Amino acid sequence: MASEKVRIQIYVRRTGEHVLIDVIPQSTTFGSIIKTVCERINDPEPSHYYIALNNETEMFEDMVFESRHASEQFQMVMRTKWLLEHIAAQAMRRQGIKLAETNDIQTETTVVEEPSVPATTSVNETSAHEPAAPTAIIANPSEEENTTTEQTKPILGDVVRETIRRIPRRDVQKYLHRSLEKSFDILLMGSPRVGKSTLINAILKKDLARTSAGRNACTNSTSYYEYEETYTSFEDSHKPITSTCSIRIWDSPGIENWDELDIAQHIRNLVKEKNPICLIYCASPGCYASVEHMKVIVEQCIELDVFIALVVTNMYASDEVDDILETYQDLLVTHMIRTQVVDDVYYYGTIGLCTAVNSVKYENENIVKPPTGVDELMLGIMNSLSEEKLLQWCFALMDNGPFWVRAQSRIWKTFKLFKSWIGY
């Protein structure tokens, strides 16, 4: 006797919709469930999604829905790979890249030339001298969440173009392979015992082992964390093509006993050698460098065009957190007016941001608080970087599945603007 149909509810993370569909236990595959949901939400690309069981377990497309699943919660989640492809296509348009034809990819790529308009404009420009904001990939919260945000909400200059030519997906994938087949570096600075390792593990969702990298000019040890990520695409013959890159997080030694010249030279050397995605500086209550030292770090990052994220760690440790945040803001506003505040992240254009986090659960006597601020920090950096660095940052975060699930509704608020002209 054939199994009777069961009605289940799928929560679509991208749109926030709840979709009811009928399935047959021991017969319906999760691949067919994805296709059905995509039809309901008018999305032509089922390959962009997967089904997650209880916000956690990925249900592969060839897996069959079983009777025991009837009472479970299911979410349809956007794959990180599609995010990378979108960012790559956007970067190709801006950079005017035209990929040469090869034997394995027989297609002509047409790329729109960059118009003489800034990459990003502001809804309400306040000053003709104010620098253009970076490309915004993450949308700000809704009007209900933050009415002041709408006043400074960035929009992409590309949206105002009347005609956008589509770049074939195979060419986008080829561009990704070229871009990702290299090493990426992230700089991490701060005093010992401020929670740098805990923060980076929370960001990457990894438990990374530290490796010694020798000595620098100031005779202080520099160490790094290293791991690999892969990007795989498929040719028309379904043959996989895989690119692997090494991602390294450089943890600079404590700088409390250095003079300003040593700090400046150390940062210049690192940036010259590594061309980092960004620099993350950490301080926590009772454990941070002098204001003069932090000032040198900020100045060097601005001079060398490195985005800096100033982070207060262990935010529940004491009330001193507010004082450190105020110091951070004073350092940044010297070089750039504050452009917006979203989810307790203070943005200073293309220069940097500052915020406070608690990377792990906080427990003290009868007080228990969950990890706080890490997602907002990750989104803040993502929203502040240009295409090349943004692509590298997103690739570094690829394995943090829970983050992508939690952040998708905010990410899609911006991506839906492009859906009509993305060619895949």
pLDDT digits 0-9 by tens, 55-113: 778 899 999 999 999 999 999 988 877 778 877 887 787 777 544 443 343 333 333 33
Q: Count the neighbouring beta carbons within 10 Å of the beta carbon of residue 242.
A: 10
Q: Are residues 174 and 73 in the same domain?
A: no
Same domain, 180 and 71: no
Does residue 151 fall inside a structural domain?
no
Q: Do 173 and 72 share a domain, yes or no?
A: no
Q: Which token pair is 112?
A: 């729109």
Q: Please indicate, yes or no, whether residues 178 and 44 belong to a single structural domain of this protein.
A: no
Give the C-alpha distances (Å, rounded to integers) separating 100 from 51, 108, 417: 37, 8, 29
Is 249 inside a domain boundary? yes
Question: Does a structural domain hold residue 10?
Answer: yes
- pLDDT tens per residue, range 305-343: 999 999 999 999 888 999 999 999 999 999 999 999 999
- The answer on 67 and 186 residing in a single domain is no
Q: What is the pLDDT of residues 215-224, one digit of tens each?
A: 443 335 578 8
Half-sphere exposure of 184 (CA within 13 A, CB side): 24
Task: Locate 77 and state its tokens.
Answer: 């989640």
CATH code, domain with 19 = 3.10.20.90
Backbone angles phi and psi of 154, in degrees to 5: -75, 145
Q: What is the pLDDT of residues 2-45, one digit of tens each?
A: 568 999 999 988 778 899 999 999 999 999 999 999 999 998 88
Residue 1 lies in a domain: no
Taking residues 245-259, what's their average pLDDT?
Answer: 83
Same domain, 238 and 348: yes
Question: What is the count of structural domains for the chain?
Answer: 2
Count CA within 13 A, CB hemisphere, residue 290: 10
Comparing 319 with 146, the larger pLDDT belongs to 319
C-alpha to C-alpha distance for 94 and 290, rounded to whole angstroms: 40
In a domain, 147, yes or no: no
- The rounded distance, in Å, linking the Cα atoms of 334 and 345 is 18
Instruction: Copy the structure tokens of residue 134.
Output: 């970076």
Last residue of a domain, one of 37, 62, 78: 78
* CB within 8 Å of 12: residues ≥ 6 apart: 18, 19, 37, 41, 75, 76
Structural domain includes residue 54 = yes
Q: Is the pLDDT of residue 238 over 70?
A: yes
Boundaries of domain holding 188? 169-400
Q: How many H-runs (helices) and E-runs (strands) does the chain carry?
A: 10, 18
Q: Could you tell me whether strands 340-342 and 240-251 are parallel, antiparallel, or unpaired per DSSP bridges?
A: unpaired
End of a domain among 78, 99, 124?
Answer: 78
Whether 72 and 174 map to the same domain: the answer is no
Measured distance CA(242)–CA(235) in Å, rounded: 11
How large a percentage of the chain has pLDDT more than 90?
Answer: 38
**Are residues 173 and 55 part of one domain?**
no
Q: How confident is the model at residue 139 (pLDDT cuts 50, 70, 90)?
A: very low
Q: Can you give the CATH number for the domain in which 314 is found?
A: 3.40.50.300
In a domain, 423, yes or no: no
377 and 276 within one domain: yes
User: Do residues 195 and 317 touch, judged by C-beta distance below 8 A?
Assistant: no
| Closest alpha carbon to 379 in 355, 351, 399 | 355
Give the residue from 107, 95, 94, 83 showing the smallest Cα distance to 161.
94
Assigned domain for 258 exists: yes
Domain end, chosen from 25, 51, 78, is at: 78
